[in-house]
Chain A
């Protein structure tokens, strides 16, 4: 997030898109609910599903799946045409307005309505509302990124926010909500194929030399490595030999499960380190038992870039060990000593090699967390980014064109499928499904169908349905819900026995390499 969570209560207008906030980020959603209920903030929601937060919306845009660039460009079209944008801000802090103007010129409300299904009056209302707010915040999640145009979608939101002078002000910003507890931290720490900690490029000679010195190695690899989706592809082609998977369950989360299974079978060696025997661990050659969050010291970095302590409350079961201990032990055996005494000493090294974490240490984290960038031990941290200027000088507008999703419904597969999470379960369910209570509240997978589609396909509540796509099929019970829109069904992806990812498509965003989980074409059959 560019802004801290508490800022949401200072927004005059909040735009939520691609985020079922109340179910996926419940505590953050109460900031939104309080802002709207008690502080007169106005809410714009853009989501095809009638998710709970739409109840509070002043304007609810119900776009067709995968048409986000379209409506965002459409809003900017209106804002530019009606001259509602922040001229002063645009002049002093951004470049590329002319290109943007050209790019959105054709996105008239009529054109947007034709393809996205959003009535033009609503689009205009949303545009005016957003543009006229002194401070407007944008919140988004996987519903924006899990598309072949995910990167475009994000850039479009940034365009919109900059156009109205909302980046770098309290109550504004472009705020991605991270789905998992430490996605932010995993990225910050260099758990990516092209960067070390703090997004320092592996391709940058000066950086690499510094890391070589810090780590005491002669030559670090220069070229960017493979992303997880590329590893799966290479593995499938037999060009990839071994995979060491720590705390992840791609056998349930991969976009194309049948393909993933074949890949794993082709590997020479698969090591899985986890707290449970997950679907992925079951097919490993070696399984290493690790400690859960309650059994270790360390830090997580949350979605607002706040580094917060994790503390050990109980001992791990049996011989399970903390992940860092296992890796260090392995490194030792492979001839490289890491020499860390505990998590605290690891953080000391992180601070040494990472400018944005440089001022962070455990004694400062005692009472409360710190937002990075934190560039010195006397630096208070940075809750709000881009306050005086953008990190890279001027903010650049990107001219972006609409590209339709990679798979559209046709005669054979007439319905859209979209996937997501539900309140009572989490990710691949490894943790939540161990709770009897949560299972009682959300026991099994379901297919969410609109009442109109239910009528058309003669489906009754609870009917066992087969959902079939070009890649596979699953079975689940029908749940007729007002959340669903006609022509689109929804599946939660938590359940192994009805893994939504057997159906979804492997098509990737070309930049972020994120699969298009949010749109594919399916048909329904009654069992």
Chain B
């Protein structure tokens, strides 16, 4: 690496690769620069203006997401001018739409207390569905944005709920454009865009139709990218829980062989939402409609709950002890009478490696046959 390719951020030197922006260098090194519109993997848009920083020798503040790192650049990410400017932008954003989450009637300035109280409120389900995980809300609190309640806007658009998975509420949209980037540059589905390039007011599909009447494939990439409460999974709203209340467990998708890494959001022993893991491959946050929204089967009432034994043509419930005793005896008997090769095991492309291993070991070591296969060819 060229030894001159170094910038200083808040007094500390960091090497960079030519072509990197200030934001990229900062993010790579764990220096936090807030942004609402930047989307990893997509080209910068600079729509939100939050990532402003002070650069020595520049008259105005610059947007770090677009400003290229250059040898010797000295950056201040938190100067008082930067903080003041960010606060102003946040205040404007808060009154640009229906962002009333900070105006519940709880005179508390402590975030934690406010949150506990807010979730106890009767109108819990009326709270913005992004409450507690909203990027705008978090920054507004962090920067102490002061908003005059009389300036608050109420809903300006009807909420779109006519598809099974995604609720679109443009009264809460901040026009950051992340969903557009997610749809067009990450998933490349090219379904949504701003209604106007110069002075956008809304994110629209071709002809401003509902998602279900557009080319949308319901991958939900846009929902995951939305930093506020404008795009939310329908289930979040139906459940009425706040997203921050769920526990998240990282695992692997159980549908196709891509093996996307995802988080199961769990509440009361129930999977209530799925999001992509943005840090690891192969998917880096992306999912498809099945992986993101096809989790109902886990908690389906028709799940088998006890062993069943056929008797006189119909099933009756049985204990594990009884069922496994029967299976063990039957298999042993058939093995004795007709030989191990008259028995076969079909293992599964759906179960884990460990389980497949145990299944073939059982077939070979216990039954004594190589009659084991799975149905992937079928």
Give chain A's interface residues, CB within 8 Å of chain B.
4-6, 22, 24-28, 30, 33-34, 37-38, 145, 177-194, 196-197, 202, 211, 215, 217, 220-221, 223-229, 231, 239-250, 253-255, 268-269, 271, 274-277, 281, 284-290, 292-296, 298-304, 306-315, 317-324, 326-331, 333-336, 338, 340, 343, 346-347, 349-350, 367-369, 423-424, 426, 430-432, 434-438, 440-441, 512-515
Instruction: Give the residue name and chain of the B residue nearest to A319 (CB).
Output: B306
Stretch from B86-94, B119-127, B195-203, B247-255 at the A interface: B247-255
**Bound Cα distance from A184 to B294, whole angstroms:** 22
CA distance A293 to B64 in the complex (A): 42
B303 and A190 form a contact (CB under 8 A): no
Question: Which has the most chain B C-beta neighbours within 10 Å: A28, A187, A253?
Answer: A28
Given A181-B350, A185-B356, A322-B355, verify A192-B372 contact (CB < 8 Å): yes
25 contacts across the A-B interface (CB closer than 8 A): A30-B186, A177-B258, A178-B256, A178-B257, A180-B350, A182-B257, A186-B351, A191-B374, A215-B364, A274-B304, A285-B309, A285-B310, A300-B254, A302-B257, A303-B257, A309-B252, A311-B251, A319-B320, A330-B362, A340-B358, A423-B289, A426-B256, A426-B290, A435-B294, A437-B294
List B residues at the A interface (Cβ < 8 Å): 164-165, 185-188, 212, 217-219, 234, 249-261, 264, 266, 269-271, 280-283, 286-291, 293-300, 302-310, 315, 320, 323-328, 330-332, 334, 338, 340-366, 368-378
Complex CA–CA separation, A293 to B256 (angstroms)? 13
Chain A residues positioned under 8 Å from B358 (CB to CB): 323-324, 327-328, 338, 340, 346
Residues on the A chain within 8 Å of B368, using CB: 220-221
**A330 and B328: CB pair below 8 A?**
yes
What is the CA–CA distance of A253 and B373 in the complex, to the nearest angstrom?
Answer: 14
Closest 4 CB pairs of A and B: A318-B305, A302-B259, A298-B352, A178-B257
By the criterion CB–CB under 8 Å, are A24 and B303 in contact? no
Residues of B with C-beta under 8 A to A254:
378
A178-B256, A290-B304, A346-B358 are known contacts; what are 16 more A-B pairs with Cβ within 8 Å? A5-B258, A26-B289, A38-B185, A186-B349, A190-B360, A192-B374, A193-B371, A221-B369, A231-B373, A276-B300, A293-B254, A313-B266, A324-B352, A330-B362, A350-B357, A438-B290
Q: Which residue of B lies closest to A288 (CB)?
A: B307
CA of A404 to CA of B191, assembled, Å: 41
Q: Are B249 and A193 in contact (CB under 8 A)?
A: no
Residue of A nearest to B257 (CB): A178
> Which residues does chain B contribute within 8 Å of A310, judged by CB atoms?
251-252, 254, 352
A441 vs B290: C-alpha distance when bound (angstroms): 12
The verdict on A30 contacting B188 (CB below 8 Å), with A183-B349, A242-B344, A309-B252 known, is yes
* A347 in complex: contacting residue of B219, B249, B326, B354, CB < 8 Å: B354
- Bound CA–CA A441/B219 (angstroms): 13
The residue from B188, B249, B251, B356 contacting A191, defined by CB atoms under 8 A apart: B356
Contact B375 A253 (CB under 8 A): yes
